[in-house]
Amino acid sequence: MTEELREAGGRIRLYVTADLGEGVAVPLADGQAHYLLHVMRAKPGMRLRLFNGRDGEWTAQIATAAKRGVAVTVLARTAPQDRLADIWLCFAPVKKTPADYLAQKATELGVTRLQPVFTRRTIVTRVNEERLAANAVEAAEQSGRLSVPEIAAPVTLEKLLASWPEGRTLYFCDEGGDARPLAAVANPSAAAILTGPEGGFDPGERELIRTQKFTVPVTLGPRILRADTAALAALAVWQSAVGDGR
């Protein structure tokens, strides 16, 4: 084990589901084992960091590295678990590459739940939740997050609104007349950003959204943003105004 290899391992962060604590042995999932063996050329003794969304961040060391599996031993905690500012992204599903991108970027920007929402003009008919999750996990590992966003099962817009939780503000990215700049109306309570499909919400949907008492219509400026641009811009501005970007 050269110093260089140890150093290379020190930059690896992996999300695991197992409990983490000093001396605990953690078996890695097949995909992670493959990545460590074949991409990072892992060997016993190599260090890495682990998080599970509950126990903070820990250093660990590879105990066994073989084709039949990779196991690591947890060493010491390097950071306590944090609690992210509570912001969901409710978005009409988009095609494969834009969906990958959206899940990655939203995770980097601290989203706590990715909620696909079917609307009348949504063209995509199926959401690949596993793929969303894989993108979110990878982005969480690379961005230094101590948790991964929840991937919620897709729902219709009507159902989303009908079961809206008490106390959560829904920022509706809309270009309607009375929408105000997000930074001017953002409040630090639990939040959600809602963006529509490429063709926008239909008039009935807009009316339904705007008449909910938890809805705050917001604008992100004078230009027409693509749905995914609007989602990322809104997350960035919200974090900057009332989240952990302050």
What residues make contact with a second copy under the rule CB under 8 A? 97, 101, 104-105, 108-110, 142-145, 181-184, 219-226, 229, 232-234, 236-237, 239-241, 243-246
Nearer to a second copy, 5 or 225 (CB): 225
Nearer to a second copy, 101 or 214 (CB): 101
Nearer to a second copy, 32 or 104 (CB): 104
Output the six-digit token pair for 229: 């641009």
- Coil, strand or helix at 189: coil
d(CA 177, CA 161): 22
CA atoms within 13 A on the CB side of 243: 23
User: What is the closest distance, in whole angstroms, from the C-beta atom of residue 132 to a second copy in the complex?
Assistant: 17
H or E stretch at 89: strand 87-91
User: What is the closest distance, in whole angstroms, from the C-beta atom of residue 143 to a second copy in the complex?
Assistant: 4
User: What is the closest distance, in whole angstroms, from the C-beta atom of residue 236 to a second copy in the complex?
Assistant: 4
User: What is the closest distance, in whole angstroms, from the C-beta atom of residue 219 to a second copy in the complex?
Assistant: 8
Output the six-digit token pair for 92: 């009409």
Backbone angles phi, psi at 123, to 5 degrees: -90, -40
Nearer to a second copy, 38 or 223 (CB): 223
User: What is the closest distance, in whole angstroms, from the C-beta atom of residue 197 to a second copy in the complex?
Assistant: 15
Taking Cα atoms as reference points, which of 98, 82, 181, 163 lies closest to residue 135? Answer: 98
Nearer to a second copy, 80 or 222 (CB): 222
Nearer to a second copy, 67 or 83 (CB): 83
User: What is the closest distance, in whole angstroms, from the C-beta atom of residue 54 to a second copy in the complex?
Assistant: 18
Looking at residue 37, what DSSP letter applies?
A: I
d(CA 71, CA 223): 51
CB atoms within 10 A of CB 5: 16
